[in-house]
Structures are given as structure tokens and as C-alpha cells.
A and B are shown apart, each in its own frame.
Chain A
């Protein structure tokens, strides 16, 4: 708290010192983005923005002129008129005309955005509490995209860390969505548990990801680059912690990336399913815990009272006879607990369970191997 107040006070005064040049750097307007659609949206936004600004200037201008000139202290006598049919017709008609002239381009743009046909590539984005899963349908590749480790660390409320020093705080992931540029890409959105929304501002739209339904969208990225966004529909505790990062590359790079990724995945799968030492399992497990479990069960396995059960000292993670139950819970989930069997390889699950059964004073000494998990899957 004292840290908070000290920095706040300093910042408050610093505010008055900010040179005008810095204010000029402030981002005030909508982004133009990186796709033809985002540009169209920006243009339409500017049109309606100018219309309302001008309307505002006129309306408020008349009002303030009146406020300055028609005041009692100037000794004016109030007029007595109370209506004017002509005026009333005019100021009904003009807004109507404005609205129609705005609705026409909006309709055109909407129709353009609605057309997902002739796409060269389809990606299915599935929202999970709290991460994204991407399926590249044509390339038969699946990724899970979690908040990056550095953000996880900085977002824990501990002394000595300052997110201000990290440019991509809460805006980076471990596995970005890699997409080719200059290609029409169809993006399907859906969710596994609750509503989420997939949004990268530079692509020009957001679309809800709703469990049980699949929404259809498309994009066409002009330039290579990294484009960042966030989940945009409240989805519980971790809603602020499920960023989206799109890495746009050339088609050739994309193809190489896919091939490399697939190789890496099968290699990882193979190596993950080997028997490992307890130390290695613990290190690996700690990393997996951080990426997948920490948001709910917390850094010290203490959980959140009433919502997310503690693991430290809990029967399921400490008693021998519950080992089977522990594995089952991680594989198949229960209530809010997701089914990690769908998301993680056997070796990963083995590692994280080993970690959970030996960290934070849960010194059971149990060592779980990938083979135990694959046995439990059957």
C-alpha cells in the first residue's frame, strides 16, 4: 500500500510536468489497423466522428451564444414564443437525412464483412478459461496459447515487480497465432466453457466465442507484423489475462513454420512420454503449473476460498489412495476444472501432477510417469 501511495503521489505531480510533446504521443483515436476492413472501419468511424463533432459544435454553439446573450443580468425581456412547426419539421428532417446517409455506407461495409467465401485457410479459435486454442484445419495443427510467463510473474501482487517496465505486459503469449499475409483467412470462433470474444483491434473486428456455437469471420492481413489483442467478453477471473497475439508472416515463412511446428510437436510428444527423473519432472511440472493451473490454484497452491480449492495440503494431492483420483481430475476435469486430458501430453500431465504432489510442503515423494497417465487414459 505504501508503495502504491508513494508512486501515486509522484505520478500525480508528474502529470503536470508531462511536456506537450508527450501528450501529442498519446493515442487518442481508433487504430487504422492492418487489413482492408480495419481501414474501412476507420474511415467510417472518422465520418461519423466528424458528423457528431460538427453537430455538437452547432448545437452547443447556439446554446452558449444564447447563454451569453439572453441572460437576465443583461436586462433582456424573455420572449414568449413556444413552438414553430417549421423549425420542428426541419430539425426532425435533418437528423433523419444524416442518419440515412450514415446507414448506407454502414450497410455496405457490413455486407462486405459478412462474406467469408473463398478463403485459403481456416483457423478455429476456441476460448478456454483462460487461454486460446487454435486449430489450423487445413494443416492439421493445434496450438494452445497462454499468457506469457513474464506477465504471469508481474501480475502477481508481489513487492519489487513493476509492470511498467514491460512493454508487452498482459499482451504476450507463449504460442502466437502465426498467419500468412495477403491471404484471405477464415477464422471460426467458439468456446469450451463460457463466452469469450476474440479480438485483435488491428484486424478490425471482434467476435464472440460462444460454447456450442461456431461463428464465422474472415481477415486479410496486408503487412507482416505482430498484432496484439485481448479477450473481450467477461469470462471470469482470468478475463484480463487471455491475450491474443497474431504474428503475420509471408506465405513461405508460414509454410516453413507449420512444418517445423509439426515436427517439434511430434518430437515433444515422443520425448515427453519418456520416463524422467523426479528433478526433471519437478522443473517441467513447475512451468506447466504456471502456465495452466496458477490462475486458479494460485502460486502457492493455496487456491481461492470458496471458488478454487487449495492443492497445498489438500487430501487429493497428498494422500496415496487419492492418486488415481488426482490423475482422473486433471485428465477429465470437474465443474470449473477443465479437462486437461484434451490439452496436454501425457508427459506434461505426469510432470504437473508430480509437481503438485511434491511442492508447497505436499512432500508425498510420489513420482508419476507418462506411462501412468497413458494407462489412466484407457
Chain B
């Protein structure tokens, strides 16, 4: 282990400050856009472009330094910890939305329907409302028109579950191939994973279209629609990001990057992919199924 006799400290870099400014632009753009200010969208796009620029530039530097052999095992461990805890923070982000789902299902919807200790609420404000889940009738139908129907678990969602689970397997095969230095198999399995990822996103988008246009299941159709779209939407966003990251790794593999021992970026993305996989299982069970 090289680490223990000499430490590595990277030299200065412009990317952190570029990144801070990029995030600032992105969020200011989004805020202007949402409050209906002129040109907010332009600022928003500029922000997205800057963020992309920052990622590309930063990672390029890191890849260069890694190839130059500057990093030691200790740096590798730091990166791993960084990625691991980043994923944990993402888990907690989803936890907020799962929490909202459980709260409404267990507490607020039944209360509005007159179950539990909140009988007065039902009696005085929502006496016509009956609690049910999936909530296909909302307490105030004028403000939040209810969906006709919701998406059943055993249809596209089940297929998507299979797709994601399979992709979890293929990415593991790719990893094994990499460890055996079997580049052909590596690229093949990785390509399969990326493909499965995009198929998932494609199906999901199709479901959204169906839900919006035919089922009248919208963001605005009460708490069912709210939790449904935010949970699956943020998940879908993460899958898209994960698939893009996988694609980048695939391109790097094709360029001959990574070695049997040294492939942290590959593993980081694989972890991320397993994470979106596990979140999906939670969604499939609690949003679609039961």
C-alpha cells in the first residue's frame, strides 16, 4: 500500500468554483422559470449546460490523474466512501417521499374518511368522503379531480420490475467479466445493461402518457397522483441519470479504460444502479402493488 508512507493531496482546481456557479445558475434559472419570470428558462438551460460542463471537465481531470498513476489506495478508499455515503443520502431523499406515502395511506386519508381519532374532521368537513386506497376519489373533487383508474401492478410495472432486476444481473456479469479481464464480455453485458435501462425509461414514459391521457391520473388528481408521480418520477430521473452514467462507463470500457484491479468508476456506477433497482422494488410493492 503506497498510502501509508506518503499521502496524496490533489492540486488546486477550477472545477469546484465552476460547479458552485453552475448550481447557482441552475437553481436561479429554475426559480425564475417557476415564478414565471421572463427568460427564466434560458438561465435554467445555461445552468444545465454549466453543470454538464463541470462534470465533464472535473471527471476528465480525475481520469487523467488516475491514469497518470497519481492516486494511491487511500484515495481509492476515500472515493468509495464518498460514493457510498452519497448513495445513502439519496436513500434518505426517497425516504421523505415514502414517508409521505405511508403517512397519507395510514393516517391522513383514513382520518379524512372518519376513521381513528379524527372523527370530527369527517363529520364537519368531509362527510361525503369515503377513504379508500388507491384513492380514486378525493375529498374535494372540484379542486382535485379523481383519476378514473390507476395503473395496476401486474402489467407494465411488473415487466419493468423484471427489466430492472435483469439489468442488475447483467451489470454484475459485466463486473465479473472485467475482473477476469474479459473485455468482450464486459462490453456486451454493459451494453445490455444500458439498453435495459433505456427500455425501462421508455416504458415508464409510455405509462405516464397513458395515465395522463386515458386514466386522468395526474399530478393534480389528489394525493394518489401526487405520491405516485413524485416517487416514480424521481426514480425515473435517477434511472435516466444512472443509464447515462452507465453509457459513459461503456464508452470508457470501449476505449480500453479500467483494469482488473483498478475500476472504481465502474463500481461506483454499478452501486448506483443497484440502488435505483432497490428503490424500484420499494415502489413496485408500495406504490403499485399493495
Contacts and interface: CB of A to CB of B under 8 A. Distances in A.
- On whether A and B touch (CB less than 8 Å), the answer reads yes
A369 interface: no
A258 interface: no
Contacts of A212: 112, 121, 125, 139
A190 B118 CA distance: 12
B228 interface: no
Contacts of B118: 213-214
Interface string B29-69: 00000000000000000000000000000000000000000
B168 to A, nearest CB: 42
Interface in B75-122: 111-112, 117-118, 120-121
A215 B117 CA distance: 9
A74 to B, nearest CB: 46
Nearest to A212: B125
Most interface-central of B120, B123, B124, B125 (chain A CB within 10 A) = B120
Interface string A8-33: 00000000000000000000000000
A200 interface: no
A188 B123 CA distance: 12
Interface in A211-261: 212-216
Nearest to B118: A213
Interface in B116-139: 117-118, 120-121, 123-125, 139
A294 to B, nearest CB: 29
A124 interface: yes
Most interface-central of B111, B117, B124 (chain A CB within 10 A) = B124
Interface string A171-212: 000000000000000001010000000000000000000001
B125 A188 contact: no
A9 B178 CA distance: 79
Interface string B265-286: 0000000000000000000000
A3 to B, nearest CB: 39
A328 B125 CA distance: 25
Contacts of B112: 212-213
Contacts of B125: 190, 212-214
Contacts of A215: 120
Contacts of B123: 214
Contacts of B124: 124, 188, 190, 214
A118 B123 CA distance: 18
Contacts, number: 23
Most interface-central of A213, A215, A216 (chain B CB within 10 A) = A213
A212 B111 CA distance: 11
Nearest to A135: B124
Contacts of A214: 118, 120-121, 123-125
Contacts of B111: 213
A31 to B, nearest CB: 28
B190 to A, nearest CB: 50
A214 B111 CA distance: 10
A188 B118 CA distance: 11
Contacts of B117: 216
A215 B124 CA distance: 11
A291 to B, nearest CB: 26
Nearest to B126: A212
Contacts of A216: 117, 120
A42 B170 CA distance: 67
Contacts of A188: 120, 124
B22 to A, nearest CB: 30
Nearest to A124: B124
A194 to B, nearest CB: 16
Nearest to A137: B124
A266 B125 CA distance: 26
Contacts of A190: 124-125
Contacts of B121: 212-214
Contacts of A124: 124
Contacts of A213: 111-112, 118, 121, 125
B75 to A, nearest CB: 37
Nearest to B123: A214
A226 B94 CA distance: 51
A43 B118 CA distance: 29
A212 B118 CA distance: 11
A215 B112 CA distance: 12
A213 B125 CA distance: 7
B127 to A, nearest CB: 11
A328 B85 CA distance: 56
A114 B6 CA distance: 66
Nearest to B111: A213
A178 to B, nearest CB: 21
B89 to A, nearest CB: 30
A114 to B, nearest CB: 9
A137 to B, nearest CB: 9
Most interface-central of B111, B118, B121, B123 (chain A CB within 10 A) = B121
Nearest to A211: B125
A378 to B, nearest CB: 20
A188 B121 CA distance: 9
A215 B125 CA distance: 12
Given A212-B112, A214-B120, A214-B124, 17 more contacts: A124-B124, A188-B120, A188-B124, A190-B124, A190-B125, A212-B125, A212-B139, A213-B111, A213-B112, A213-B118, A213-B121, A213-B125, A214-B118, A214-B121, A214-B125, A215-B120, A216-B117
9 contacts: A188-B120, A190-B124, A190-B125, A212-B121, A213-B111, A213-B118, A213-B125, A214-B124, A215-B120
Q: Sort A-B residue pairs by CB-CB distance and give the 9 closest, nearest first.
A: A214-B120, A214-B121, A213-B121, A216-B120, A214-B124, A188-B120, A214-B125, A212-B125, A213-B118
